[in-house]
Amino acid sequence: FKETGMPYEDVPVDEAKQKALAESGDLLFGELPMLNDGKINLVEPPAILEHIAQKGDNSASSKNRLLGANEDERSFARSLCSAAQDLRIELFSWVKTNDADMKKKFISVTLPQWFESLDKLAVKSIAEDRGLGPG
């Protein structure tokens, strides 16, 4: 929400609060992060990010097109969000298990591949703004 200029509150949730939210049905699938935006609770980072971007694009205070100006840009934004979610899943896989081999693979293979792709996108965005701004 910060990028949109809209007000928000970041609420820390400990394990007990997470369990209580899950048991009450407020926390879908028992997973964090969760966005509570009045009448809706969203989980899954891609859905949360798209929701925030759409609200930001619709707000009078926003000067950006966070979700893109057309369907091609929106689809590209969804693709980036999905890739970030994949990276997050891999990160938490080894963090939760503390598996040394998973950590080694994440650091030596996954991160370099991900950042290489992101770097290529940033370089490409110099000529055509793909949502990263000028280069």
Q: What confidence tens digit (pLDDT) does each residue in 52-70 have?
A: 888 877 766 656 667 777 7
**For every residue of 39-67, which 3-state class applies, written as one string?**
CEEEECHHHHHHHHHHHHHHCCCCCCCCC
Rounded to an integer, what distance in angstroms lies between the CA atom of residue 8 and that of residue 99?
Answer: 36
User: If you average pLDDT over residues 60-85, what whole number do you get?
Assistant: 74
The SS3 of residue 43 is strand
- How is the chain split among helix, strand and coil, in percent rounded to 5? 60, 5, 35
Does residue 77 register a pLDDT over 60? yes
> Is the model's pTM score more than 0.85?
no
Strand intervals (E) in 27-114: 34-37, 40-43
Q: Average pLDDT, whole number, for the chain?
A: 80
